[in-house]
Amino acid sequence: MTPTDTSAYGTRRTAVVTGATRGLGLHAVRALAATPGWRVVLAVRDVDEGQRVAADLGAEADVVGLDLASLDGVRTAAAELADRHARLDALVLNAGVQVSRADRTTEDGFELTFGVNHLGHFLLTTLLADALAPGARIVAVSSGTHYGTLRKSGPFPRPKWRPARELARPDGGSGQVAYSTSKLANVLFAYEAARRLEGRADVNAFDPGLMPSTGLARDYPPWALRIYARVAPAIERFMPGAAQPAEAGRALARLVTDPALAGVTGRYFAGGRPRRSSPATYDRARAADLWRESAALTG
């Protein structure tokens, strides 16, 4: 796809979606590509799979390789995105991992969950800040697990917050705790980015609801995956707060495309509605510290 020229701006807008080949991201890019005036860039680790998805989407889709577990990979992808597209109208920070134990690392030695779910997206956003069109929208996909309460998160372990330099160290602890903590970081990041990019971009967090069939737990042991596959349909159908991926994907796409949401920033959307996020997410000092330490960690 050729770079966006200024004559095309205003009739065709460009949204970059990470983790766009499966689950929530796949349904979001389908909804975006079907929206008149929008094209999508699939920023994905598996470029071949991205090309297959893009072929199904048609002319309004492009693919860029992005490995969020590598800072150099993020820098390469950001440079390619800025070179191909004169202006970007939306960043959808959707990709994520969940592992059974927090003992795996990124290429740079960071704990894998925190490195991919937060640090990779943090670096991508900061590198692309100058490429954002006026009024661009950024959506960070979080999760209800960030609440850490039985009513909001169910039996999922609550976040265990520590300074970013400590969260970035693999400790061999619970992968679920690492995941819920990374989802708390996603909301803190969104709120701090909304403050820092005020007047330039709208930044919001999105909670898609519980979606067992998205494949997020694909790194779990085979026996656990077999059990998970059996119970997932019942959970999605009957559990309160559960959502079908296609429905959640449309709600995510709406945060990018709905004209009524222009200027709405620093909010947390659960499905299609703004909600209060956890009390911990409104700690401005914590959010500012996370931003500063993330900048130091990512160079």
Catalytic residues: 179
Sign for the CA dihedral angle at 17, 18, 22, 23 comes to negative
3-state secondary structure of 289: helix
User: What secondary structure does DSSP assign to 207-259, as a single string?
Assistant: E--B-GGG-TTTTS-HHHHHHHHHHHHHHHHHSTTB--HHHHHHHHHHHHH-G
Tokens encoding 218:
């694909």
Q: Is the separation of the CB atoms in 19 and 67 below 8 Å?
A: no
Token look-up 């990979």 returns: 73
The Cα–Cα gap between 152 and 149 comes to: 5
* Contact of 157 with 177, CB cutoff 8 Å: yes
